[in-house]
Amino acid sequence: MAYKGLSLEGKKALVFGGTSGLGKSIALGFAEAGADVVPVSRRAEEVSKAAGEIRALGRRTLESTADVTKREDIQRVIDRMLRE
């Protein structure tokens, strides 16, 4: 649930761990506030599910998997988000 009066319209949010638990709640909250959100996890099926929920809120998203212990994975996701 987004905070009343909070607008993230025109913003992009990248949420590592954004497919379950607190991370997913944060990702959906950002989307409810108007941000386009990229939820990231190691599990593609979880990313796809979270991205579907973000799209259902009318926001844009990308489906990206990454291992946050690998710097190159993190950089790849950031670069893709900034390009698209």
Structure confidence by residue, pLDDT tens digits, 55-78? 999 999 999 999 999 999 999 999
Q: pLDDT at residue 2 above 80?
A: no
- The helix or strand, by DSSP H or E, that contains position 13, with its residue range, turns out to be strand 12-16
Report how far residue 46's alpha carbon sits from residue 52's, in angstroms, rounded to the nearest whole number: 10
8 A C-beta contact, residue 47 and residue 41: yes
Question: Residue 32: which H helix or E strand, with range?
Answer: helix 21-32
Confidence of residue 1 (pLDDT cuts 50, 70, 90): low
Helix (H) or strand (E) holding 28: helix 21-32
Per-residue confidence at 32, pLDDT binned at 50, 70, 90?
very high
CATH code, 12-83: 3.40.50.720
Pick from 55, 53, 62: which is nearest to 20 by CA?
Answer: 53
What local confidence, expressed as pLDDT, does residue 3 receive?
A: 66
- Check residue 5 and give its pLDDT: 81
Q: Where are the domains of the chain?
A: 12-83
Rounded to two decimals, the pTM is 0.89
Taking residues 37-52, what's their average pLDDT? 97
